[in-house]
Structure 1
Amino acid sequence: MAHSDIQQQRHPALRMVLLIIGWLSVALGVIGIFVPVLPTTPFLLLAAACFVRSSRRFYLWLVEHPKLGPWIRDYLEGQGIPLKGKVYALVLMWASITLSCFLVPLPWARGFMLTSAVLVSIYILRQKTLRSH
């Protein structure tokens, strides 16, 4: 049975929910490119997973997109994250977390932000670094 046949057999309501989640994930992923504390790759991967189960056309659009596609393809192919991307993400994330810690007086909120930043930093640093082509 072809992949498109499987998509057509899905209940229309489920297909619509997957499309909505997919497009919401694309929007959050794009915002994440500019807002360091919002992760880009996980949202784009979620969008790809939703689209592959609901719309071949949107899936192909996403993975072949000149700006968004590489985020997904490089990660899925195990090539890693470009060094420039790692540095950019870490510097902007820590700058925004530091500023947020000064602006938010709640100790538990500061602890949550710092813990999140440390965990995301560890994750980013442990990822393979993509070699330049």
Structure 2
Amino acid sequence: MDIVKKPFRLLFILAGLLSLGLGIIGIVLPVIPTTPLLLLASYCFMRGSKKFEAWFIESWLYKKHLEGFVKKREMTLKQKLSVLLFADCMIAIPFIMTDSWALRAGLAAVVLYKYYYFFTKIKTVG
């Protein structure tokens, strides 16, 4: 793994804490996607601090929402739909704002591919 310089490690830790906080809020509010934010928090902690990474991996949040995906490449249908619909909303913004049919076709291809990937390459459980 790359050695991240100290100021950047602090930024990764702060981004991880922000993502973690938003992910926790997402457990209660269905409009905020829990799983993608917790994945981002995990990545940020991994890049920022071994201590934060170890703490997060031992937390109930990680075990409940991410462990199955990380270890077995499996997700619940609810987790898949949460990730996919959040990504669709983010892709919809440039899709609506652009006049380029080529860009719209590219974005539509991305949407189709991510659904294909999630439902054929990631196992659906419980």
Q: Distance in 2 between matches of 1:31 and 1:111?
A: 32
Q: How many residues align?
A: 115
Measured after TM superposition, the shift of residue 102 of structure 1 is: 6.7
Query: 1:87 aligned to 2:81?
Result: yes
Q: 2:46 aligns with which of 27, 46, 49?
A: 49
Q: Normalising by structure 1, what TM-score?
A: 0.56
1:75 counterpart SS class:
helix
Query: 1:78 aligned to 2:68?
Result: no
1:129 counterpart SS class:
strand
Q: 2:123 aligns with which of 113, 120, 128?
A: 128
Q: CA RMSD in A?
A: 3.7
Measured after TM superposition, the shift of residue 85 of structure 1 is: 1.5
Shift in CA distance, 29/87, structure 1 to aligned 2, threshold 3 Å: same
Task: State the match for 1:119 in structure 2.
Answer: 113
Measured after TM superposition, the shift of residue 74 of structure 1 is: 1.7
Contact 2:33 2:83 in 1 (8 A): no
Q: 1:61 aligns with which of 43, 50, 55?
A: 55
Task: State the match for 1:106 in structure 2.
Answer: 99
Shift in CA distance, 124/98, structure 1 to aligned 2, threshold 3 Å: same
Contact 1:97 1:117 in 2 (8 A): no
Q: Distance in 2 between matches of 1:119 and 1:30?
A: 30
Segments of structure 2 that go 5 or more residues without pairing to the other structure are: 27-31
Q: Distance in 1 between matches of 2:116 and 2:46?
A: 25
Q: CA offsets, 1:54-104, max 9 Å, x none?
A: 332x1233223333453332222215111222233334544x368547732
State the AA in 2 paired with 1:17.
F
Pick which of 62-71 and 23-32 moved more: 23-32
Q: Distance in 2 between matches of 1:103 and 1:81?
A: 30
Q: Bigger radius of gyration, 1 or 2?
A: 1
Segments of structure 1 that go 5 or more residues without pairing to the other structure are: 1-9
1:67 counterpart SS class:
helix
